[in-house]
Homo-oligomer: A and B are copies of this chain.
Amino acid sequence: MGRKKGFQQAEILVIISNVFIEYGFEGTSLDDLVKATGLLRGSLYSAFGSKRGMFSAALAENIKQGKDSETTINLVIIAMMELTAKDKAVKKLVEYWYEENSFLNIAELLGEAILKRSHLSGGNLNNGK
């Protein structure tokens, strides 16, 4: 009943994930998300409720639908750095992800992802490998 959505939520969440990964949570503005998705603020807010809701939905989509792990781990790191301390929903998602992957060396996985993200140049950046 009512009007149909003019977009596929899953596709939008892929775009949103990439924006948050590029700029971080606090570093991402709603204008960034509006421009990247092609949607308007009102549509984003009616779909996700808040900026945190947008991040949370993106993280949940990646974790629960088993998306590619590099995207997921980058979102997890951003969540840990900027959100798990204040946002219970995000914290629970990260804890769920943590348990599902407890067979891995998570510390090393996180650390390597950060190193990759940081675009360090210079000499020999091949410590963990």
Contacts and interface: CB of A to CB of B under 8 A. Distances in A.
A36 interface: no
A81 B127 contact: no
A123 interface: yes
Given A27-B82, A114-B81, A120 B98 contact: yes
A77 B85 contact: no
A109 B105 CA distance: 12
Interface of A: 24, 26-27, 77-82, 84-85, 91, 94-95, 98-99, 102, 104-112, 114-115, 117-125, 127-128
Q: List 5 A-B pairs, minimum CB-CB distance, nearest first.
A: A107-B111, A107-B128, A111-B111, A26-B26, A80-B118
